[in-house]
Amino acid sequence: MRVPGVAITLVLWTACAAAQALPSLDDGYRDMYNLQFQAAHQVFQQWQNANPQDPLGPVSDAAAYLFAEFDRLHVLESELFTDDNRFRARSKLLPDPEIKRAFDAQLARADSLAGSRLTAEPGDANALFARIMALGLRGDYAALIEKRDLASLNYIKTGRALAEQLLAHNSNYYDAYLAVGVENYLLSLQSAPMRWLLRMTGAQTSKQDGLRDLRLTAEHGRYLLPYARLLLAVAAVRDHDRAQARDLLEGLARQFPENHLYVSELAKLQ
């Protein structure tokens, strides 16, 4: 009579061990920020296999494809964002077509899964955030690789509106603040007449509001916390606050020692 009890215990223990062995999305993002993109893809694929209805799996995998392209094309080097003339004169980049197809496929899958979940439960926070993140990724690709600034602005505006919708009911969903903060901060860098025109189209252009929301993600976010801190470091360089920029980059370099970007950006501040 004791054998079945032992067997049940072993089955439960094995199930718990398997659950513990399954990597989380956090593991995939850690690999991504460490520029270990193949490892990140493996984690995100495992997550999708175990959670096939979760749109955060494919949208996270799309993020890994985009960050790999950013790394290959040297997109995130600070000079591009701290020198306005250089940013305006930037060239359209030559993307990897295979990466682009995989990126688009994962975004399409995320959109489909998010749509299904939102139809069943309109208030599903993770599904809404997956849509916000997909819009942000499309906006980044359009602006920083394809140099389609108007298309990027439309993605950013739509994502910000969805983020505000999400935060109205889930104010502690800190990753969503990044979508609001990015629009405000980036558009605040435009000239006064351009800011006026942008506001007429419904865009938000407050630098202080943008920095406030980026800090919320940088301090309390989950998946996007390191990205928010990098953006704040760039903002600090633009404001000639080298001490703050150095502090942010040193923290990122310690947390993600395989990421050469943080080390190279730190060297520029010496």
Full-model pTM = 0.87
- Please give the pLDDT value at position 126: 97
pLDDT at 104: 98
For range 139-166, the mean pLDDT: 94
Nearest to 65 by CA among 24, 17, 106: 106
Q: Where are the beta strands (DSSP E) in 35-153?
A: none
Which one is the CATH code of 24-267: 3.40.50.11390, 3.40.190.10, 1.25.40.10, 3.30.9.10? 1.25.40.10
Those residues whose C-beta lies under 8 Å from the C-beta of residue 199, and which sit 6 or more positions away, are 205
How crowded is the C-beta side of 90, counted as CA atoms within 13 Å? 24
Whole-number Cα distances in Å, 217 to 5, 45, 68, 171: 48, 25, 22, 12
For residue 71, the number of C-alpha atoms closer than 13 Å in the C-beta half-sphere is 18
- For residue 13, the model assigns a pLDDT of 41
For the residues 254-269, what does the mean pLDDT come to?
Answer: 92
Phi and psi torsions of 76, nearest 5°: -90, 15
Q: Which of 227, 238, 232 is nearest to 210 (CA)?
A: 232
- Other CB atoms within a 10 A radius of the CB of residue 196 amount to 11
What integer pLDDT is reported at residue 14 of this predicted model? 39
Contact 80, 87 (CB under 8 A): yes
- Show the tokens assigned to 173: 């969903």
Q: What is the pLDDT of residues 175-220, one digit of tens each?
A: 999 999 998 887 877 777 667 777 777 777 778 999 999 999 999 9
